């Protein structure tokens, strides 16, 4: 009996001292309730999955506020990814109804308040990816738990439209484009308006992202629409100045998509695209892998943001004053260009096949196309300056990777940091 009583006492004690939890949270759209799971004796994590931050979007339209809901929304499972081609481009998955985010809140003995907030923007070449992307080992690639727990921060991962539905543009008012960027902005603004109810500090929001998500971070900093909404930003491998971050000729690309789906390319083009099956539209935006070898692979990444005169009012290099109040970290990896290098010059990954200086000249000719022969000659001599007369294969191959890394990632990032520091307050 005494034994039982002390067991009950211990159990009660554990009950009253275990970690706190938010329970149902009131947001602008209504109540949401997630799940709580215990991490340790006095720590747990509240997880809210699939919280809508905007209404299901109209096709080629900016996101609109969610009308709200009655009762308590169960935020216990991830919602749809935005409609996109599959990784192998054999089909599509996801839905147009995809504007959802997920929130992780670390808890201790008492309910957390005033926590810093980190909003993550996923990558995927503006073509694919999701806030809950699955890694090849089956775990959620962007599960926020680890960062939330270790950093004692709230982590938010957000969806945005990709591919044709996210970035098709006519380059004018008929179809301005940048829908995916507007989605990212809507998510950031939602977090700013609602995160206090989850224990977050809306004056301490950091936006971070990788690859195309990193470019997204950069555009969000440069857009005048985010002024005051976040304080810090981290770009992991990509900025708005990266050569793959912006469309070169949006109208030509929109017309190419229109032709593929059987729409006229003149005045009625946008009206026709708007009523075209979204799966057909999405498929029409896949990478033209058949064109590999016809020039640097980077030029196949066609669907991306544009200067729309609104969200992105001017060329990104002229917009750094909008980011003057933001603390910024940007970086790249030493071999970020390797994936592209291996597609442009496959021999760099083949033991039996040598890579020739001529291969490098051809690559440079493609990358410096707009600079003519002078571009090839001067960049080739620069990159081969340290070569001995008969360089070994390792050196030659490393040079190819350096060229791609510099062109696609490192130099644009250095330029962005330079522009940021010269504008920053
Ligand atoms: C935001 O939170 C971090 C981590 O707690 C802290 O170091 C920083 O000073 C905070 N910044 C602001 C503006 O409150
Ligand atoms: C580029 O290099 C080639 C071969 O060395 C040379 O024939 C050509 O004149 C050079 N062109 C320019 C514009 O420097």
262's tokens? 């059987």
With a pLDDT cut of 70, the percent of the chain lying above it is 95
* pLDDT of 299 over the 80 cut: yes
Residue whose C-alpha is closest to residue 184's, from 223, 150, 151, 234? 223
Q: Which CATH architecture has domain 14-248+303-331?
A: 3-Layer(aba) Sandwich (3.40)
Please give the distance, rounded to the nearest whole angstrom, from the Cα atom of residue 406 to the centre of ligand 1: 33
Residue 202, ligand 1, Cβ within 6 A:
no
Using pLDDT thresholds of 50, 70 and 90, give the confidence band for residue 289: confident
Contact 30, 69 (CB under 8 A): yes
Residue 291: what pLDDT? Answer: 84
* pLDDT of 9 over the 80 cut: no
Express each pLDDT in 203-240 by its tens digit.
Answer: 999 999 999 999 999 999 999 999 999 999 999 999 99
Query: Nearest 5°: phi and psi at 234?
Result: -135, 120
* pLDDT of 327 over the 50 cut: yes
Average pLDDT over residues 163-184: 97
Helix (H) or strand (E) holding 280: helix 278-283
Please give the distance, rounded to the nearest whole angstrom, from the Cα atom of residue 284 to the centre of ligand 2: 41
Query: Ligand 2: which residues within 6 Å by Cβ?
Result: 373-374, 377
d(C-alpha 330, C-alpha 374), whole Å: 31
Express each pLDDT in 83-102 by its tens digit.
Answer: 999 988 899 999 999 999 99
Query: Nearest 5°: phi and psi at 274?
Result: -65, -30
Question: 358, 373, 378, 380: which to mutate for ligand 2, most atoms within 8 A of CB?
Answer: 373
The domain segmentation of the chain, as residue ranges, is 14-248+303-331, 347-423
Express each pLDDT in 39-72 by its tens digit.
Answer: 999 999 999 999 999 999 999 999 999 999 999 9
Ligand nearest to the CA of 112: 1
């Amino acid at each position: 009996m005494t034994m039982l009583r002390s067991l009950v006492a211990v159990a009660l004690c554990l009950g009253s001292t275990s970690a706190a939890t938010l329970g149902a949270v009131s947001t602008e759209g209504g109540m949401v309730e997630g799940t709580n799971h215990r991490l340790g004796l006095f720590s747990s994590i509240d997880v809210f999955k699939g919280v809508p931050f905007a209404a299901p979007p109209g096709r080629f339209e900016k996101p609109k506020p969610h009308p709200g809901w009655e009762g308590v929304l169960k935020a216990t499972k991830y919602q749809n990814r935005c409609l996109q081609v599959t990784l192998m481009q054999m089909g599509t998955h996801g839905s147009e109804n995809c504007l959802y985010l997920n929130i992780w809140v670390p808890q201790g003995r008492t309910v957390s308040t005033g926590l810093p907030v980190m909003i993550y923007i996923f990558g995927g070449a503006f073509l694919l990816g999701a806030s809950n992307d699955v890694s090849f080992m089956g775990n959620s690639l962007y599960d926020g738990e680890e960062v939330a727990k270790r950093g004692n921060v709230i982590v938010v991962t957000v969806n945005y439209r990709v591919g044709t539905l996210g970035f098709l543009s006519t380059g004018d008012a008929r179809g301005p484009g940048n829908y995916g960027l507007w989605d990212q902005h809507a998510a950031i603004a939602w977090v700013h308006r609602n995160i206090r109810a989850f224990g977050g500090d809306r004056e301490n929001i950091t936006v971070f992202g990788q690859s195309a998500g990193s470019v997204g971070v950069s555009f969000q900093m440069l857009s005048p629409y985010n002024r005051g909404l976040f304080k810090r930003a981290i770009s992991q491998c990509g900025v708005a100045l990266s050569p793959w971050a912006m469309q070169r000729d949006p109208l030509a690309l929109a017309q190419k998509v229109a032709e593929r789906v059987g729409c006229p390319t003149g005045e009625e083009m946008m009206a026709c695209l708007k009523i075209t099956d979204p799966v057909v539209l999405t498929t029409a935006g896949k990478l033209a892998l058949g064109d590999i070898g016809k020039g640097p692979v980077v030029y196949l990444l066609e669907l991306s943001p544009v200067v729309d005169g609104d969200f992105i009012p001017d060329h990104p290099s002229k917009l750094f004053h909008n980011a003057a109040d933001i603390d910024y970290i940007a970086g790249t990896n030493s071999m970020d260009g390797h994936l592209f290098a291996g597609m442009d010059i496959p021999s760099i990954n083949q033991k039996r096949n040598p890579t020739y200086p001529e291969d490098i000249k051809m690559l440079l000719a493609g990358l410096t196309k707009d600079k003519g022969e002078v571009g090839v000659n001067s960049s080739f001599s620069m990159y081969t300056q340290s070569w001995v007369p008969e360089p070994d294969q390792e050196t030659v191959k490393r040079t190819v990777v350096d060229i791609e890394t510099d062109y696609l990632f490192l130099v644009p990032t250095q330029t962005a940091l330079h522009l940021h520091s010269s504008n920053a307050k």
